[in-house]
Amino acid sequence: MNTRTKHALKPLQIGSVTLENPFILAPMAGVTDLPFRILCSRLGAGMNCMEMISAKAITYKNKATYAMTEISPEEKVASLQLFGSEPDVMGEAVRMIEDVPYHILDINMGCPVPKVVNNGEGSALMKNPVLAGQLIEAAVKATRRPVTVKIRAGFDEEHRNAVEVAHIAQESGAAAVAVHGRTRAQFYSGEADWEIIAAVKDTLSIPVIGNGDVTDGPSAAAMLEQTGCDGVMIGRAARGNPWIFESIKKYFEDGTVVGKPSMHEMQQMILEHGRMLVAHKGEYTAIREMRQHMAWYTAGYPNSAAFRRRINEADTLESLEMLVRTLCVE
């Protein structure tokens, strides 16, 4: 293990909050709800990022939106992410959720989804650095907790301004910046540009968290080595794979590259996830959401293609459990 790899297992300090390790679950709509975050916490995630929440919906006191703010004591560090484009609304929303026991507040400036971008929110803010700074300042003034920001490399190839936006974030009071090494125009295609993460790290004095194309221990180590970043954020590689945090930690501890979990372990995880989701959201919603999770969990396993063709047969927890047991056990 090189010195950077050994250093990576040390705690990561973000403002007043200490992460046990620098390996972070990225915010993902439709994925990082409470049950999945609990699973990732149990398997070693240093911090969980919640699904992005509309600041405006908070101010409207939307019940469904408030339900998304639930946090479990099992989550060692939880980051609550808001999105919006109006500084006054952002500040008001932050004040209204002061009683929610989150640890870090994050502002989304990276979401590439058209309905968000078309409202001037998410990655659209990469085109308006001044407004981005005003949003951060409003949030910082409204809470004593650390405020972080998640950005992209830029909006498109002609506007790769992550360094500029990150500098404004720091000057506006942000305690850390996470950088996804793709532009909004790329969405999730192509390779992440780790060089721009390194450029942001060279510019800032606050922690920088790298995001993009980390899928295992070796790639996490490579990102830390090549960019000098302080933390690693894992997104799509964690879908159907909450074990990724355990395996990355194992690699940093002794260099072991951990393989896929056994078929039995995967089955048990699906069952546990399904039961937790039913308890959290009710059977009807939970089982329909679990269909996508099961597709992610089973990818790459023997007979998984046939299993995935039958996923829609599950419409109750009992039928889900019966279907999962049809998978061959090693």
pLDDT digits (tens), the chain, 330 positions: 454 455 557 899 999 999 999 999 999 999 999 999 999 999 999 999 999 999 999 999 999 999 999 999 999 999 999 999 999 999 999 999 999 999 999 999 999 999 999 999 999 999 999 999 999 999 999 999 999 999 999 999 888 999 999 999 999 999 999 999 999 988 888 899 999 999 999 999 999 999 999 999 999 999 999 999 999 999 999 999 999 999 999 999 999 999 899 999 999 999 999 999 999 999 999 999 999 999 999 998 887 888 888 898 899 999 999 999 887 544
Kindly tell me the sign of the dihedral angle through the C-alpha atoms of 217, 190, 84, 179: positive
What's the pLDDT at 307? Answer: 87
pLDDT of residue 182: 94
Residue 22 has what pLDDT? 97
pLDDT (0 to 100) of residue 3: 44
Structure tokens at 145: 């907790």
Contact 190, 158 (CB under 8 A): no
- Helix ranges, 180-303 (H): 194-203, 217-227, 244-254, 263-281, 283-298
Evaluate whether 30 touches 289 at the Cβ level (below 8 Å).
yes
As its CATH architecture, domain 263-324 has Orthogonal Bundle (1.10)
pLDDT number for residue 1: 47
Pick the CATH number of 3-254 from 3.40.50.720, 3.40.1180.10, 3.20.20.70, 3.30.230.10: 3.20.20.70
* Residues identified as active-site: 111
The pLDDT assigned to 328 comes to: 59
Give the position of tokens 């409207």: 60
Q: Which residues, in sequence order, are CB contacts of 329 under 8 Å at separation 6+? A: 263, 264, 267
Looking at residue 39, its pLDDT comes to 98
In the chain, which segments carry CATH 3.20.20.70?
3-254
Q: Quick one: which of 157, 236, 248, 168 has its CA closest to 196?
A: 157
3-state DSSP call for residue 179? strand
- CATH 1.10.1200.80 positions along the chain are 263-324
